[in-house]
Structure 1
Amino acid sequence: MSAARPLRLLVITYYWPPSGGAGVQRSLKFVKHLPALGVEPTVITVDPEKGAYPVLDHSLAAEVPAGVHVIRTGTSEPFGSYKKLTGRQQIPYGGFVGESKTSVAQRFFKFVRGNLFIPDARRGWNRHALQAVAELIAQGEQFDAVLTSSPPHSTQLIGLALKQRYGLRWLADLRDPWTDIYYHQELNQTPLARWLDARYERQVLEQADIVLTTSTDTRQLFLGKAAGLAPGKFHVLPNGYDESDFQLPSEPPPDQLLITHTGTISETYHIELWLSAVAECARRHPAVPLRLRFVGKVSDGVQRQLADNGLLPVTELIPFVPHDESVGYLRRATVLLMAIPDVPHNLGILPGKVFEYLAANKPVICIGPAGSDADLLLRECGAGQAFAYGAYEAMLAHLEELVAQWQINPNLDLPSLGHARYSRRALTGQLVALVRGGDEVARNR
């Protein structure tokens, strides 16, 4: 690679500001920190006027460094027809999955999504992105590597095509499992569709120069997909937190023990016994103002669980907010709640928000499997632990311990958790080492 110019990285990602939610954070934060580390990124993404984002967060546009070339393309996707036939205005997560099965139209679209749009319904963007790359190369643009970020996993097929056409060094960044993602069984795929989906997955894993995953368990899951895959090209590069998001001081409320959850939560997360433990703890300690706050989408089922436990009067439900506001709610909490969905292969689910929870220096209550990557991370940093979905007595005992601590001092903030290695800048540094051609320390993380 030439020393006369900075490294040039082509970043291909469907989710980009003004898209909101968790999916946009990883690519955005990489691009934010790359220029300071000697890498010049060029971003290819979808035109927001033509693409389909479940949520919007216009505040994130301010984090794109000045001078970064962002190319927005057209797309060809089925979501317009979906809206017309279902009467729904919100784009579904995961491409028509995770929704109610009561609607005939929704069931039809799930089948169509699983069998005609493989690997996902956003594949219609691929030819537009590939055309944009072809135009750049025809103009004489040169890139040292290309990074494709997914989901949507159809984006990885763009990287596959670029590898085959131009021989570019290719880093496939897979934030989630592919054919093992928890909602995959809802797609009702035919045997032929399942075969084709798995074939695409294997091709990506075999032909990418580097495969990035966000957790150790997910790395192992992908390594088992085909014989002969080289373990050395599979790297764990977790999500992280941006230090600039946590410059303001912590402000836990002095007059209430406030437990805050941010992000989407549904019945799949199985927090019902934990809610029962909260209700029992509040009954035992009526003098302690125990409060709950959920920031983000809370399913009707979880709201019913709150009502069944008599917790609605002490619960605040706040709809989706921009990312900077979400971080503010972390700072203003006493304790933070996270949950891992009770789905297959959940040991490797390591939500991006767990790193922001760590950066907030609050005690973390995690509902999910013991020994999971999330549990191990929390224990490693001294922030908390995971409680199994059915561990009612352990949950109640832990809540009572927090109540006792709060009665002594309502500020339960923890000392520095030693999480600096999970800063977005540090993680982007590991990415740069891989773009340069390999770094043994980064390789084995």
Structure 2
Amino acid sequence: MQRTLKFVKHLPSFGVECTVITVDPDRGAYPVLDESLAAEIPASVRVIRTDTSEPFGSYKKLTGRQQIPYGGFANESKTSFQQRFFKFVRGNVFIPDPRRGWNAHVLRAVAGLLRAGETFDAVLTSSPPHSTQLIGLALKKRYGLRWLADLRDPWTDIYYSKELNQTAPARWLDEWYERQVLEQADEVLVTSPDTKRLLLGKSAKLTAGKFHVLPNGYDESDFREPSAPPTDSLLITHTGTISEIYHIELFLAACGECSRRHPDVNLRLRFVGKVSAGVQELIHDHELSARTEFIPFVPHEQSVGYLLRSTVLLMAIPDVDHNFGILPGKVFEYLAANKPIICVGPVGSDADTLLEECGAGRAFAYVAYGDMLEYLEAQVAAWRLNPNLDLPALNHSRYSRRALTERLTKLIRRP
């Protein structure tokens, strides 16, 4: 959502007039909401909010849960029979996903605009949910509109796809939708080089020229506050959702050992966002509970503030198939915070390459306990000399949201 929001925020400054079609917040269902981000929508941008048809109300009634699941059920760590059943339904009934019920409402809204004589130079659809891409496909076929398909994540290869237990017919249909979108879109935008490679191999009809790596980024206006790392502790912060599939257990073990070896340094951990029960148990097992702070979901502005009030930042890539192309949006905000970054994930991945390119940190394999401990001890030694471990100005300006929107503008206007 932030990716599209930031595009919409900056497009008017490049002479692009935007109309946004989205869901009425009183009609849709979401795991979390950040109302503060609405203030970033320029006054010149028209926003059309539609009704939707989704199964999440029934899901909450049947399960007794107040919160709906994330796309990959990332907020559900221990899976019961009931949860496995709902995953099966999700994978075999709602194809590509349960948000597809919104599409008809959007198509009616667009048809109304066109009947009123409005014209549009291009349509951009952003996913997941990948059902949104079927809107672009329909608009392309019905009206011949130039269409940019923005895929922030893989589609049928997304990391939780195996958990959906799709039958062969359901899998075939999902892959057919994916190919149709990739083949029919005028331009395909992806967030990482490995995702481009993955999607390019989906059909012999695809050519590299229609794929464009347009990564996520950071908005310079979000980082107006000065950096203020604590002086009484070496504080490592992680923001966002984290569960057992991120395999940070050996990193936690290294933190525990480092704190025992250096009792004079107050090593602390802070997790901002959703932390699964399994990860909380690991923190307890490594005797880090007294050193760890858990902060539930906060608005984006506050999340950035926590980054700036940290010593080191932790990022983790889930240990799943095709994870070399996972380049989380938050990594760019980590870069903008100018803190050393510890990435637990595949070495040589797109995330690792980015960190090395910007001189911002390094990735450690999930099993690289010794390397992680050595790196932590180096940070401890540096902290003793100066508790501010902020890095010099990093080479990341090309990842600002404004610079990335300028690139998008050129694609919109591409002949």
User: Is the structural similarity TM-score above 0.5?
Assistant: yes
User: Helix, strand or coil for the counterpart of 2:145?
Assistant: coil
Whether contact under 8 Å (1:211, 1:233) holds in the other structure is: yes
Whether contact under 8 Å (1:273, 1:390) holds in the other structure is: yes
Alpha-carbon separation, structure 2, partners of 1:97 and 1:282 = 30
Q: Does 1:344 align with 2:321?
A: yes
Q: Does 1:184 align with 2:148?
A: no
Q: Pick one of 154, 159, 163 that aligns with 2:140.
A: 163
Give 1:228 deviation, angstroms.
2.2
Partner of 1:278: 255
Alpha-carbon separation, structure 2, partners of 1:292 and 1:200 = 43
Q: How does 1:176-215 map to 2 (within 5 A)?
A: 176-215=153-192
Q: How does 1:8-47 map to 2 (within 5 A)?
A: 24-47=1-24
Whether contact under 8 Å (1:96, 1:113) holds in the other structure is: no
Partner of 2:266: 289
Give 1:100 deviation, angstroms.
5.0
Alpha-carbon separation, structure 2, partners of 1:97 and 1:397 = 31
Alpha-carbon separation, structure 2, partners of 1:293 and 1:79 = 32
Whether contact under 8 Å (2:254, 2:369) holds in the other structure is: yes
Partner of 1:12: none
Whether contact under 8 Å (2:339, 2:390) holds in the other structure is: yes
Q: Pick one of 420, 424, 445 that aligns with 2:397.
A: 420
User: Helix, strand or coil for the counterpart of 1:105?
Assistant: helix
1:132-179, Cα deviation, whole Å (9 max, x unpaired) = 000000011100000000000000000000000000000000000000
Calculate the aligned-residue CA RMSD, in Å.
1.0
Whether contact under 8 Å (2:77, 2:243) holds in the other structure is: no
Q: Pick one of 51, 64, 79 that aligns with 2:28.
A: 51
Whether contact under 8 Å (1:381, 1:418) holds in the other structure is: yes
Give 1:102 deviation, angstroms.
4.4
Q: How does 1:282-361 map to 2 (within 5 A)?
A: 282-361=259-338
Change (3 A) 1:96 1:79: farther
1:363-389, Cα deviation, whole Å (9 max, x unpaired) = 000000000000000000000010000
Partner of 1:404: 381
Whether contact under 8 Å (1:101, 1:107) holds in the other structure is: no
Q: Does 1:244 align with 2:236?
A: no
User: Helix, strand or coil for the counterpart of 2:96?
Assistant: coil
Alpha-carbon separation, structure 1, partners of 2:78 and 2:195 = 29
User: Helix, strand or coil for the counterpart of 1:34?
Assistant: helix
Matched AA of 1:63: E
Quote the sequence identity (%).
76
Q: Pick one of 118, 127, 130 that aligns with 1:153.
A: 130
Partner of 1:254: 231
Q: Does 1:268 align with 2:253?
A: no
Change (3 A) 1:311 1:96: closer
Q: Does 1:217 align with 2:194?
A: yes
Whether contact under 8 Å (1:173, 1:213) holds in the other structure is: yes
Q: How does 1:360-371 map to 2 (within 5 A)?
A: 360-371=337-348
Whether contact under 8 Å (2:227, 2:337) holds in the other structure is: yes
Whether contact under 8 Å (2:216, 2:332) holds in the other structure is: yes
Whether contact under 8 Å (2:192, 2:215) holds in the other structure is: yes
Whether contact under 8 Å (1:361, 1:416) holds in the other structure is: yes
Give 1:104 deviation, angstroms.
3.5
Runs (5+) with no aligned partner, structure 1? 1-23, 439-445
Q: Pick one of 358, 362, 365 that aligns with 1:388.
A: 365
Give 1:111 deviation, angstroms.
1.5
Give 1:187 deviation, angstroms.
1.0
Alpha-carbon separation, structure 2, partners of 1:292 and 1:100 = 21
Alpha-carbon separation, structure 1, partners of 2:77 and 2:278 = 12
Whether contact under 8 Å (1:97, 1:186) holds in the other structure is: no
Runs (5+) with no aligned partner, structure 2? none
Partner of 1:17: none
1:346-403, Cα deviation, whole Å (9 max, x unpaired) = 0000000000000000000000000000000000000001000000000000000000
Change (3 A) 1:249 1:278: same
Whether contact under 8 Å (2:76, 2:276) holds in the other structure is: no
Partner of 1:379: 356
Whether contact under 8 Å (2:127, 2:153) holds in the other structure is: yes
Alpha-carbon separation, structure 2, partners of 1:361 and 1:41 = 33
Matched AA of 1:131: R
Q: Which moved more, 1:162-171 or 1:95-104?
A: 95-104
Alpha-carbon separation, structure 2, partners of 1:101 and 1:249 = 40
User: Helix, strand or coil for the counterpart of 1:70?
Assistant: strand
User: Helix, strand or coil for the counterpart of 2:196?
Assistant: helix
Alpha-carbon separation, structure 2, partners of 1:163 and 1:326 = 38
User: Helix, strand or coil for the counterpart of 1:306?
Assistant: helix
How many residue pairs are counted as aligned between the two chains? Answer: 415
Whether contact under 8 Å (2:244, 2:278) holds in the other structure is: yes
Alpha-carbon separation, structure 1, partners of 2:338 and 2:9 = 24
Whether contact under 8 Å (2:358, 2:396) holds in the other structure is: yes
Q: Does 1:94 align with 2:96?
A: no
Give 1:107 deviation, angstroms.
2.3
Alpha-carbon separation, structure 2, partners of 1:346 and 1:212 = 18
Whether contact under 8 Å (1:120, 1:154) holds in the other structure is: yes
Change (3 A) 1:380 1:97: closer
Change (3 A) 1:297 1:102: closer
Whether contact under 8 Å (2:251, 2:369) holds in the other structure is: yes
Matched AA of 1:154: S
